[in-house]
A and B are shown apart, each in its own frame.
Chain A
Amino acid sequence: MRVAEAWRVALDALRANRMRSLLTMLGVVIGVAAVVALVAIGTGTKQQIERQVEGLGSNLLIVVPGRLEAGAAPTSSPLTLDDADAVSRVVGDRSRVAVTIASGETVRAGSRSGFASMQGVLETTPTVFVRELNRGAYLTRTDVSTGRRVAVLGAGVARTLFGDRDPIGRQITIGGVRFRVIGAFEPLGQSLGVDRDNEVHVPVTAAQRLLGTDRIDGLAIRAPDRDRIDQLGRDVVATLADRHPDTDFSAVTQEQILGVLGDILGVLTGVLAAIAGISLLVGGVGVSNIMLVSVRERTREIGLRKAVGARPRDIGVQFLLEAVLLTTTGGVLGMLLGAGTALLVDGLSPVPAALTWWSMALAFGVSAGVGIIFGVVPAQRAGRLDPVVALRTE
């Protein structure tokens, strides 16, 4: 009964000062909204990256020169196609090994042109990675061994150069060199921030001749089964280290990539949420401030309530509830605002956002906690007021 009355009084007090209550809430609203929206964006991005990494194919082992650590300088690759052959022997199956050498090049067809990522690859690429053709055919082993100037276009490149027309059999130039289009990929979208539809696949040998090098950037292996993937990685790295004693090599699996990216994103999301949390704290200070004002304004009311039998705790609870009501209302509004912002960002921008129930629950809990923490001092002060002194206050 006393608590019901305390709720009623607290609600009444907030309603009597509607504008002030709203402004006080604003700090909490913004803080909670920022936390919810930022966590949603962080979560959405993480989920998207996970989907993309998994979309590369299963049991993948990616081998690159250099150490795979945050902050490690990129190492120039000493790898050649001979190394790829050596790795194929370790794996025991040439069709499970893919290589790339990539370079950004201008592509042109008639009057249309664009900028694309040329990928010099083996004919094994579609079996190692998940890559679906939309029309035409992929590169053959002969194309690779003879360095034939044929190309398979990403969906975006095909659209840029040919619009709705069928590109198969047409001539294009890559970096000024003529190639014949033999196939086109299904649209794939973004992957790890790279537009996969902007790729042009050509035989690695043709790419090397065009770039005037015999190097490759790295290789990828599809392991026969999950259990052998780590052992295979160690064997491949040992083989390559044997052949190039001056260079470190790293073999990473999808799980490792996901782990590293997840950690980075987790830290980033955490930092952003903490910054947003600071505004929640500032909002809390505002609540504390306004509650002190409220106690002062209602000193006579407090005196009277005590005179007719309110215990210190009754008064304290009343003011604490007022503070908690203030921050939790702000918390709910902030949750709605944050969720709305997240959905808007997800819908209208390329940044993905995914709402999670725990971030909403956390934000609500924190806002209630802020109310308690920042309301307790004013509430105690109100509860301890001397009734006679309080009644005399003007």
Chain B
Amino acid sequence: MTTPAIVATGVTRVYQLDGFSVPALRGVSLTVEPGDYLAIVGTSGSGKSTLMHLLGGLDRPTGGTLLIGGRDVAGLTPNELAELRNSTIGFVFQSFHLLARTTAQDNVGLPLVYRGIGRRERRARATAMLDRVGLAHRVTHRPNQLSGGEQQRVAIARALVTGPSLLLADEPTGNLDSATGRSILTLLESLNAEGVAIVLVTHDREVAARADRQILMKDGLIVESVPGTAD
């Protein structure tokens, strides 16, 4: 029996804004099994990013329970949460978030710093991962010397360099043209084929349709969960 990657039960997240409570998630229950391929769709402001942050251990729920890799997030210290993010989760941000003055190779190697791995080994592993995402020829480029698609692939390589079992991608193709977007998706799907569970947020129905399962969000709730249509 395998532990589900994620089990969320009645998870809420309420932001405090100038004394007002803004409920971004109002009771979300969700299970992600190892090797799942999940797409989250929904209107802007429906709480997709908020949910992704929770699933990635970047944030804690206001209510409900959230288990990541079988561990209750509420009971974890900041250090344990950092360790969790580092070891089991890869996060791809919509806006890449690469370090500007740092080469592609060192951006990719960044998570390994916090594993206490030496620079030589970090660079070797980062280079291998860049090769994997088709950027072997861009190893020492800085973000401003890379195209948007290349930057996104660097960000994906960074999410993968630690060998996570769960990859979370918040609109990974949102800023890219459709051809580049497709090549990124192909990359994600090949990873999924190797057993990495993938949760991705998208606005694109076509993209969502390729997943094993689609989840539709509205006003902080999951309103529909449908199996994918693609093969």
Contact = CB atoms under 8 A, between A and B. Distances in A.
A308 B93 CA distance: 11
Contacts of A304: 97, 99, 110
20 contacts: A2-B113, A2-B116, A304-B97, A305-B110, A305-B114, A307-B56, A307-B58, A307-B85, A307-B93, A307-B97, A308-B85, A308-B111, A309-B87, A309-B111, A310-B82, A310-B113, A310-B114, A314-B114, A388-B59, A391-B93
B141 to A, nearest CB: 18
B119 interface: yes
A201 interface: no
B6 to A, nearest CB: 17
B110 A308 contact: yes
Interface of B: 53, 56, 58-59, 78-79, 82-83, 85-87, 91, 93, 97, 99, 101, 110-111, 113-119, 158, 162
Given A1-B113, A388-B59, A311 B99 contact: no
A315 to B, nearest CB: 10
Contacts of B117: 1
A54 interface: no
B97 A309 contact: no
A132 interface: no
Nearest to B113: A5
A324 B95 CA distance: 33
A308 B158 contact: yes
Contacts, number: 68
Contacts of A309: 82-83, 85-87, 111, 114-115, 162
Nearest to A4: B119
Nearest to A2: B116
Contact of A1 (B91, B118, B162): B118
Contacts of B162: 309
Interface in A301-324: 301, 303-314
A305 B114 CA distance: 9
Interface residues of A, number: 24
Nearest to A15: B101
Contacts of A312: 78-79, 82
Contact of A16 (B59, B101, B110, B115): B101
Given A5-B113, A309-B111, A309-B114, A301 B99 contact: yes
Interface string A1-17: 11011000000100010
Given A16-B101, A308-B158, A391-B93, A2 B114 contact: yes
Given A1-B116, A307-B85, A309-B115, 9 more contacts: A1-B119, A304-B110, A307-B93, A308-B158, A310-B113, A310-B114, A311-B83, A313-B79, A388-B53
Contacts of A5: 113, 119
A1 B110 CA distance: 12
Nearest to B158: A308
Nearest to B49: A388
Interface string A173-199: 000000000000000000000000000
A285 to B, nearest CB: 28
Given A2-B116, A314-B114, A388-B59, A308 B101 contact: no
Nearest to B59: A388
Interface in A297-351: 300-301, 303-314
Given A4-B119, A306-B82, A311 B114 contact: yes
A301 B83 CA distance: 18
Nearest to A306: B82
A336 B231 CA distance: 73
What are the 3 closest A-B residue pairs judged by CB atoms, nearest first? A309-B86, A308-B111, A309-B114
Contacts of B78: 311-312
Given A2-B114, A305-B110, A391 B97 contact: yes
A5 B116 CA distance: 9
Interface in A265-308: 300-301, 303-308
Nearest to A5: B113
A387 interface: yes
A313 B114 CA distance: 11
